Amino acid sequence: MASSIEVTVPRLGWSMEEGSFCRWLKEEGEMVREGDGLYELEGDKATQVVESFDAGVLRIGPDGPQSGDIVKVGQVLAHLEPRGGKAAAPKAPAAQQAQAAPAATNGNGAKAAEKKTNGAPAPNGNGSHAAAAPAAQPPQAAVPEKTSASTAPVASPSVRRLARELGIDLQKCDRDDPSPLSAAELMRLAAQPSAQPAATPVARAVVSGDVAVTPRAKRVASELNVDPADAVGSGRNGRIREQDVRAIAANASSKPAAKVSAASAGGAAIGEPITQIRRVIAQRMMAASHETAPVTLTARADASELVRFRDECKRTSVERGVNPPSYTELFVKLCAAALEKHPALLDQWVNERLVKAEGVNIAVAVATPNGLMTPVIRDVPRLSLRELSASFANLIELARTQRLAADQMRGGAFTVSSLGGYRVEAFTPILNPPQTAILGIGRISEQPVAKQRQLVVADVVNLSLTFDHRVVDGAPAAAFLTSLCDVIENPLAWLLG
């Protein structure tokens, strides 16, 4: 009888360690076909439908995940059993196996003993004799002796394509099963640490008790006079990182104020649980603050021509019954023009190397009820203004309805964040690692401007460029900001070209 197939938590991104389980899309005992949506999982800033790579009857155990449960990458959530078969019992942890009873028991609770007749094995139903064993073991196929030259397991073209997308070298898969490699098994391999792409060697973590602590986290803990053992590790296998140490230090400093607040309320403080999206945003903001060298440059640009262009677009759009482009879309298009002149701002610092971007893919910060999202508009210079507007409108709708896929937020090389819809003149945007730069756009307001020794009123916008000084020096960043101001002040050639 064919064995059941485990339903596990996939790694939706290489930085993902855990996710928040949302809900099952199939019921217990329901037939699942290959490609069917099994459940919804909230991962890195997005809720995704996880599809099944195999077919079978869904069996959810009594300890199956509930809505809101935090699940780890690789965790078994349920099983798919073949039609008419029985699901295999979940594997018990090694510690439980070690504590298991040394001998099997029969239905009456007594130990199963080998029955003998005059020193010979008991006869079976056919009258012949068969030796009794302490526990029935399935027949094991002979395993060929491993050689130094490993060969890739048998796999279908779709599984091989998935392996390439996950960065898994099938030649290095340690697998003795001669049967074809399934997509589900490949996803389990991707969830293992050994399946991740090789990264630049880092310092080994020191161990504090039973918890690993990175050397950097230990140094920061000494500087802040905190015990790293009190931190909740966010790294792999619970490893304590620098941001975890800083988190408990910040929490310790805020405790007195929290007590006063609770006392003034006349009872214990009751907080809301942090969502997975909020947790990811916090981690990335902390990473941007502590793992980059951010510098912010500011400039003012005369946006009078841009305002006139949009007013004309609004007038003609009403006549044609379409929506005019927003200022954010216009600035994204103009940023792409400036980035083509200064591509160094698209480079990224990854694993101690500078990685060149493939195309001008611009992420746009979008505020949603669940937190900040950054969908990516790809190959912006190739898009016409109408195509860009349609693409951005679709991404905003997906983001605000929690239907934005993780792939639609990957691959951005530059971010645009606009608060122009509020009464915000200027602000300091925070980098979105591993990106090198982010542009903050304030509101457009009428201000006095000197032109040809005369004072006139113009529509002025404040621009704030935050960049990573590890990748780009001040002069190239300033040159980009200058070019951007130039295209904003003379936008027609870039918007209509």
Closest to 435 measured CA to CA, from 455, 416, 412: 412
Q: What is the pLDDT of residue 12?
A: 76
Nearest-CA neighbor of 348 among 439, 440, 466, 472? 472
Instruction: Examine the residue annotation and report whether 473 is marked as an active-site residue of this protein.
Output: yes
Choose the catalytic residue: 69, 210, 469, 486: 469
DSSP string for residues in 336-400: HHHHHH-GGGG-EEETTEEE--SS--EEE-EEETTEEE--EE-SGGGS-HHHHHHHHHHHHHHHH
Tell me which H or E stretch contains 299: strand 294-302
Task: Enumerate the CATH 3.30.559.10 domain ranges in the chain, comma separated.
Answer: 294-496
Beta bridge partners of 126: none
Which pair of tokens denotes residue 88? 């295999």
Work out whether strand 37-42 and strand 18-24 pair parallel, antiparallel, or are unpaired: antiparallel
**Of 93, 96, 95, 113, which Cα lies nearest the Cα of 104?**
113
Enter the DSSP assignment of 414: E
**Which residue in the list 69, 177, 311, 473 is annotated as catalytic?**
473
What does R_g of the chain's alpha carbons equal in angstroms? 30
CATH for 206-279 is 4.10.320.10
- Spatial CA neighbour of 476 closest among 302, 341, 363, 333: 341
Token readout for 278 is 């909020």
Q: If 0-12 CB within 10 Å is exposed, 13-18 middle and 19+ buried, where does residue 232 land?
A: exposed
- Taking only the tens place, the pLDDT of each residue in 276-334 is 778 878 888 888 888 899 999 999 999 999 999 999 999 888 878 788 999 999 999 99
Closest CA to 91 of 4, 175, 209, 204: 4
**Tokens representing residue 330 in the block:** 């216009």
Question: How high is the pLDDT of residue 15?
Answer: 66
- State how far the Cα of 305 lies from the Cα of 205, in Å rounded to an integer: 56
What's the length of the chain? 497
Classify domain 294-496 at the CATH superfamily level. Answer: Chloramphenicol acetyltransferase-like domain (3.30.559.10)
Cβ 247 vs Cβ 231: under 8 Å: yes
363 phi/psi in degrees, rounded to 5: -90, 145
First to last CA, the chain: 65
Burial (CB count <10 Å: 0-12, 13-18, 19+), residue 41 = buried
Quick check: is 302 catalytic?
Answer: no
- The owner of tokens 């969830």 is 191
Find where tokens 């090694």 sit: 94
The SS3 of residue 280 is helix
Give ranges for CATH 4.10.320.10 in the chain: 206-279
pTM: 0.54
What confidence score (pLDDT) does residue 119 get? 42
d(CA 409, CA 414): 12
d(CA 338, CA 299): 15
| Segments of the chain scoring below 70 in pLDDT | 1-2, 13-15, 44-45, 84-167, 171-211, 235-238, 251-270, 497
Structure tokens at 111: 């130990």
